[in-house]
Chains A and B, each alone.
Chain A
Amino acid sequence: MTGFFRIAAYAVGLIGLFAAFSHYGIPQLVPEPPPVEERVTGTMTTEEFVAVGARIYARVCVLCHSGLGDRAPKLDAIATAWRERIGDPRYRGKAKNLEEYLRESMVEPSAYVVKGFGKPGTNDTESPMPEATKGALALNPGEIDALIAYLQSAAGAQVTVAPRAGLAAGADRPTAEPSIGEKASDAVAALQKFQCITCHRLPGLATEEGAQPPGPDLRGIWKTAANRVAGMNAKDFLAESILFPNKVVAKNFESGLMPEDYGDRMLVAELLMIVDHLAREH
């Protein structure tokens, strides 16, 4: 009987070790919630429209188009690369400009396959990319437009698509609603809840080094926040930048990109946690 208990204790201990390693040896990343349909309205400014595209890009595209050029082609030079591609004899599409090329790449990915990125055995004639309007992605026309606007903006090209009302329906997803939801447990959870990583590099959250995100890198903000506005300490500056993001806009960054509704969507506790986190040395 002693042997039985010794064996049972050994088995339980071993299971405990595996469980403990999974809890404490592995980062407890919070997977993204199921995607929601982005709301595109005709009254959006171009900046808001681009920001919607940036969110979709971070959610849907960045897994492959990470900016490393490993899993899928880099998109940072797409503003010039598209001309070469449509002139390539392998091109099978009908695009005449960047907007059309981007749209075509999303809805008909095999129209042109960048060398080395085709499905194995197809000699780069068939793209492994799913059609963006179908299957697991199922982006609606408004979301496709927003993505094009973001890609144009990120590549430094002129944004040629405008938000159009009434294009949101069709995707088999619930529509995004501004909601306060459950309180985040800590600052990192709050940053994840409000998807700040979509536009910023943040302390405590690992990001792929690659394409420049649309917002400033905040990993060193604790050093400079106190000196940005005369008479305002670091925490006040950070809180104001979250609640009124267009009051002080970082050099080389566009104003109007960051949503102004965090005051409605964020709990005070969450705001304070984020401010403390950003103001602290990491």
Chain B
Amino acid sequence: MRALASMLLFVLVLVAFEAALSIVPWGEGAMAATGAPAVEAAAAQPGAPKLTAADYPRYQSLNSRLTVWIAAQLHLFFAAFVLGVPIFVLVIEFIGWRNGDPRYDRMAHEFIKISMGAFSLTATSGGILVFALAVLYPGLFAYLTRIFGPVMMLYALLFLAETACLYAYYYGWDSMQGRQKPGHLLLGLALNVVGTILMGLSNSWATFMMAPSGVDSQGIFAGNVWAAVAGPLWTPLNVHRFLANIAYGGAIVGAYAAYKFIAARASEAKAHYDWMGHTANGIAVVAMLPLPFAGYWMTKEIYAYSQQMGITLMGGVFAWLFIIQAVLIGTIFLAANFYLWCGMARLDGANRTAHLVKYIAGVLVICFLVWFTPHTLVMTARELATIGGAYHPVLGPLGVMSAKNTAVNIMILATFFTYQLFRRSMVRSTRPWMARASRFQVALYVAAVANIILLGVYGYFVPANIRIGLSVPQVMTTLLVIVVCIVVDEVIASRSERIGAVHWGRMPARAQYALFTLAVAFTWLMGLMGYIRSSIRQHWHVYTVMRDGSVDAFTPTIGYATAIVSVCTLLFLALILFVFWLSGLGRAREAPAGLAEAGATP
């Protein structure tokens, strides 16, 4: 039934493209038909259309921008989820295949089952988005189609391939065990490769609208599709979304596991979903740690493309949205850490490190407050006179990116340290070199924090365009600590004796609410960042090339924008709850015995 729905949508999308192509001259096709030289053919094409309000059809009280906004956001939520989940499903399945532990295989299967339910909704929301764009913004849709026609056709074909891979991967799970497992893993790999290409293709439309390439200042397409695809922001956005999709997928399946944990009665089922939640939280956190780096890279490229756009993003009215972002990411960090701290109750050997938790919490809260501090304050004249300027004399310096980059890097290190404590609580150092290795790790942390703070302070003494580049060595320092500590920990773990067992299922219910918090905050954050990314184009459909001539060509207030983000989040969560319910309709398999006292750690 789902396959039929997806096929139907595919046909409808093709029809929409066909309709759009029929109303505009398609440069590539014209060239092929006439055999005219490419330069002449490109020159003969008109540039970006200059639209007026009359060029945008209105349907009674339907708000065109709102319709496209909600459709696009819902599609992005679902697409991120269904693209992110198969990536870690493949990894978990591979681990299960290599170590012969069927619990991994079962968990991977359950993860992909949730993703399956969301796939149809991804296709549905995508279809709604395409139709809404074609009907409500025909001028923009026609212009984009003129340039990206071949890419859109490729996208449609790859969507078909994605559908085929996903259904074969899911429905072949049980039958392709044993000797056929490598074949099944290859299917999963193909699913991920196709999915990633699909993401890259659709990203190219978004980045073209932000930083057009392959067209001149009038929007005249030169005929090179690749030049239009591979714009200056394409690669950073691809990397950012790839990582964010994994983190988001982890957060959503974590919420699923939490839901099932709370609903479960049997201790075996509780143990299974506790393990599942722990794994999902780990996936979300691990994928989230490099996200700031990807974000900085993206911002750096935005500045390099257009300083005006960069400053509009970070220094104009949009700057306040990053205070909201700070609250959301602070919530995510605190929730993820809280879950890990609660998780230490599962371990027999956690008492040795439990006293450190309060210090980690303190560091997280201080960093959160620094990140949360705004730069420019909106004040009354009296407040302004009392303070002596638009910036607070003491807290004002904390409002700039130098302080915020420093804070977020230390938050990442603190979160990783929590994760390290969890891992190290399960082993006991038995040899002298292990103590030396631990001291080396402590020294590495101290040096890294000092370096991050020094770079942050240095940022106050250099111009903005150089300051933004300092975030790269700061994040590289953080990543270096993480990579080195993981390697050292693995070496220690492989040569140490284990302390006690992991009691899966020995977890308070309040910890499950931390997983729900992660899912809600991630979803809301994605909606907010999607709005920011899109709205920094301001009154342009395609920045500097094609002006938005509609009546909605203005930037809404923060309150309005975040209300829409909230509505999108509510809609998505309601739909994903429906998916959870659907996935529970299938025949439930019993959890394998022994998990409740297992030593396995994801």
Chain A interface residues (CB < 8 Å from chain B): 3-4, 7-8, 10-12, 14-16, 18-19, 21-23, 26-35, 63-64, 70-71, 116-117, 119-120, 128-130, 134-138, 172-173, 203-204, 206-209, 219-220, 281-282
Contact = CB atoms under 8 A, between A and B. Distances in A.
A270 to B, nearest CB: 19
A18 B304 contact: no
Contact of B384 (A21, A27, A32, A206): A206
A31 to B, nearest CB: 4
23 contacts: A7-B262, A7-B516, A11-B519, A18-B328, A19-B566, A21-B324, A22-B558, A26-B323, A27-B320, A29-B320, A29-B558, A31-B317, A31-B557, A63-B316, A71-B311, A120-B466, A203-B381, A206-B376, A206-B377, A206-B378, A207-B390, A209-B390, A282-B380
A159 to B, nearest CB: 27
Contacts of A64: 307-308, 311
B513 A10 contact: yes
Select the residue from A12, A19, A35, A204 with max chain B CB neighbours within 10 A.
A19
B464 A71 contact: yes
Interface of B: 50, 217, 259, 262-263, 303-304, 306-309, 311-312, 315-317, 320, 323-324, 327-328, 376-382, 384-385, 389-390, 462-466, 469, 513, 516-517, 519-521, 524, 538-540, 543-544, 547-548, 553-559, 562-563, 565-566, 569-570, 573, 577
Nearest to A204: B380
Nearest to B563: A19
B327 A136 contact: no
A37 B390 CA distance: 31
Contacts of A129: 307
Nearest to B573: A11
Contacts of B389: 209
A128 B563 contact: no
A21 B555 CA distance: 20
Contact of B554 (A8, A12, A33, A219): A33
Nearest to A12: B570
Contact of B381 (A12, A23, A219): A219
A31 B555 contact: yes
A4 B258 CA distance: 11
Nearest to B559: A23
Contacts of A63: 308, 311-312, 315-316
Contacts of A281: 382
A119 B304 contact: yes
A220 B307 CA distance: 36
B276 to A, nearest CB: 16
A37 B380 CA distance: 33
Interface SS of chain A: helix, strand, loop or mixed?
loop
Select the residue from A15, A22, A128, A130 with max chain B CB neighbours within 10 A.
A22
Contact of B217 (A70, A134, A219, A282): A134
A14 B521 contact: yes
A176 B573 CA distance: 44
Contacts of A206: 376-379, 384, 390
Given A30-B557, A209-B389, A15 B380 contact: no
A27 B378 contact: yes
Given A7-B259, A208-B376, 19 more contacts: A7-B262, A11-B519, A11-B573, A18-B327, A19-B563, A23-B559, A26-B320, A31-B555, A70-B463, A71-B307, A71-B463, A116-B463, A120-B304, A128-B465, A134-B217, A135-B306, A138-B544, A173-B547, A206-B376
A16 B569 CA distance: 11
Contacts of A29: 317, 320, 378, 557-558
Given A7-B516, A14-B517, A203 B380 contact: yes
Contacts of B558: 22, 26-29
A34 B539 contact: yes
B469 to A, nearest CB: 6
Select the residue from A28, A35, A128, A282 with max chain B CB neighbours within 10 A.
A128
A8 B465 contact: no
Select the residue from B307, B469, B516 with max chain A CB neighbours within 10 A.
B307
Contacts of B217: 134-135
Contacts of B311: 63-64, 71
Contact of A15 (B543, B555, B569): B569
Nearest to B382: A282
B468 to A, nearest CB: 8
Given A26-B558, A29-B558, A15 B377 contact: no
B469 A219 contact: no
Contacts of A35: 539
A136 B543 contact: yes
B372 to A, nearest CB: 10
Contacts of A71: 307, 311, 315, 463-464
A107 to B, nearest CB: 14
A138 B547 CA distance: 12
B466 A172 contact: no
A10 to B, nearest CB: 6
A171 B464 CA distance: 30
A117 B573 contact: no
Contact of B469 (A3, A15, A27, A120): A120
Nearest to A127: B307
Contact of A31 (B519, B520, B547, B554): B554
A130 B308 contact: yes
Contact of A8 (B307, B328, B390, B577): B577
A219 B466 CA distance: 36
Contacts of B513: 10
A64 B308 CA distance: 8
Nearest to A21: B327
A204 B555 CA distance: 21
B260 to A, nearest CB: 10
A11 B516 contact: yes
Contacts of B577: 8
B463 A26 contact: no
B80 to A, nearest CB: 18
B306 A130 contact: yes
Select the residue from A14, A30, A203, A281 with max chain B CB neighbours within 10 A.
A14
Contacts of B263: 3-4
B465 A120 contact: yes
A203 B390 CA distance: 12
B217 to A, nearest CB: 6
A57 to B, nearest CB: 14
A213 B234 CA distance: 41
A136 B306 contact: yes
B520 A14 contact: yes
